[in-house]
Amino acid sequence: MKTYLKILSTGICVPEKILTNQDLEKMVDTSDEWIVTRTGVRERRISDKGVSTSDLGAAAARMALKNAGMTAEELDLIMVATASGDHLFPSTACIIQEKLGAKRATAFDISAACSGFLYCLTVAHSLLNIGAFRNALIIGAETLSKITDYKDRSTCVLFGDGAGAMLVTLGKGKKGIFASHLGSDGSLSCLLNLPAGGSRMPATVETVEQDLHYIKMNGNGLFKVAVRAMEEAAVKTLEKVKITSEDIDLLIPHQANIRIITSLRKRLDIEEEKVYVNIERYGNTSAASIPIAYHEARLQGRIDENSIVLMVAFGGGITWGGVLVKG
C-alpha cells in the first residue's frame, strides 16, 4: 500500500519585536518604497538579546505538540533545519530535545540554509518509511538578526527571525500523495554565505573588524539561480506523481523576495490566488519560512485534508528542493 507523510499538526513562534522599514530608514540609506518595490518586505520580527534559535524552535515545537495532543516523550525523531543554530556544535536539535524533555528522540540538524526544512521532510519520510521511526518533529528555526549586518542595506532589509514546527507520521492509503526533489550546486556557494567562524576562516580580530561573521550575498546572481532552481524543483516534483501545476491547490514558496515569487508563479503558470505570500510581515526567515507559511495557511482554511500543496525553496549552498503533500 502506498505510503505518504501525514502531517499531524503544526506550530510557530515569532518574536514580538517588529522592525519596520521606517525603522531601517533611520539605520541605513534606504526607504520604505525602495524596500517594498524590490523585496516585498514591510516588516520583520527580531528576537531579543539572549533569545536563541533553540528558544524559538522549542516554542514552535510545544505548540505543534499541543495541537496534536501529544507529549514530548512520544517523539522518536527531532530534526532541525537552521543556518543560525545556537552553536557549531552541539546541534540545535539536541538542545531543543533537552528543552522539550523528549528523552526518547534521536535528534540532529540539517544544514541546507533556506531549503533545509524541505530537506528535513524528505529525510524524515525516508526514515519513517523504512520503519526506523514512528513520529517525527521537523523544525525550521532561525535568528538571522544575530548574523545580519545592519550597516549593509542590501541584506539587512531582507532577514527576520522565527520558527515553524511540523509533527509528521507515516500515513497509508491510495489518496496519499508524497513526492520530493532535492538539488544542490556547490560551485555557487559564493553567492550566499557566512565567511568566518568555521574551520576555513576561524574567528580573529581581523575577521571581526572586516564584518566577516555576517551574511554576505550577491543579490543579482542569486536571483537568476533562485528562480531557475525553484522552477526545476517544482517541475520535477510534480513529474514524479504525474500531475501538473493546474492540479495544485496551493503553492508555498520560500519567502525570499516578492520578485522571485512572482517570477516563479508566472513560469509555473499558477494563478496568484493559489500562492501563499507572507513576506511583507516576516521578511526572509530562511529555514523557518515554509513551516511558518504552511501553519498560517492551515489556520486560514486554505489547506484541508484533500488539498494538494507544493512547497518549493532555494538557499545557500546553493541548495533547492520541492515537496508535494496532501493535506
Quote the pLDDT of residue 174: 55
| 238 and 297 Cβ atoms separated by less than 8 Å | no
Shared domain check, 166 and 196: no
Is 284 known to be catalytic?
yes
Shared domain check, 107 and 20: yes
Quote the pLDDT of residue 46: 98
Which of 143, 139, 140 shows the shortest CA–CA distance to 50?
143
Shared domain check, 123 and 257: no
> Which residues span the domain enclosing 278?
178-326
Quote the pLDDT of residue 168: 95
| Percent of the chain with pLDDT strictly greater than 90 | 93
Domain boundary residue, one of 122, 154, 172? 172
Ranges in the chain, pLDDT < 70: 1-2, 173-177
| 142 and 85 Cβ atoms separated by less than 8 Å | no
Question: Cell for 264?
Answer: 516563479
**Total residue count of the chain as it appears in this document:** 327
Shared domain check, 102 and 86: yes
Torsion over CA: 188, 164, 257, 299 (sign): positive
Please report how many Cα atoms fall inside a 13 Å half-sphere around the Cα of residue 97, on the Cβ side: 21
Backbone angles phi, psi at 316, to 5 degrees: -55, 145
**Tally of domains within the chain:** 2
Catalytic residue among 13, 21, 94, 114: 114
Quote the pLDDT of residue 4: 79
Is 125 known to be catalytic?
no
- The CA distance from 311 to 254, in Å, is 8
Shared domain check, 249 and 113: no
Domain boundary residue, one of 130, 145, 172? 172
Q: Which residues of 53-85 are buried (b: 16+ CB within 10 A; e: fewer)?
A: bbbbbbbbbbbbbebbebebebbbbbbbbbbbb
- The CA distance from 105 to 91, in Å, is 14
Shared domain check, 16 and 159: yes
| 11 and 71 Cβ atoms separated by less than 8 Å | no
Element (DSSP H or E) covering residue 57: helix 53-68
| 221 and 154 Cβ atoms separated by less than 8 Å | no
Shared domain check, 220 and 298: yes
Shared domain check, 183 and 162: no
Number of H helices, E strands in the chain: 11, 13
Domain boundary residue, one of 148, 172, 196? 172
Residue-wise pLDDT for 262-281, tens only, equals 999 999 999 999 999 999 99
Residue type, 54: S
Catalytic residue among 13, 254, 257, 295: 254
Is 254 known to be catalytic?
yes
Shared domain check, 185 and 216: yes
| 68 and 18 Cβ atoms separated by less than 8 Å | no
Catalytic residue among 21, 181, 284, 295: 284
Shared domain check, 156 and 104: yes
Shared domain check, 315 and 196: yes
Question: CATH number, domain at 44?
Answer: 3.40.47.10
- The CA distance from 91 to 78, in Å, is 11
| Degrees, nearest 5: CA angle 298-299-303 | 25
Residue pointed to by grid coordinates 522552477? 231
Q: Is the pTM of this model over 0.75?
A: yes
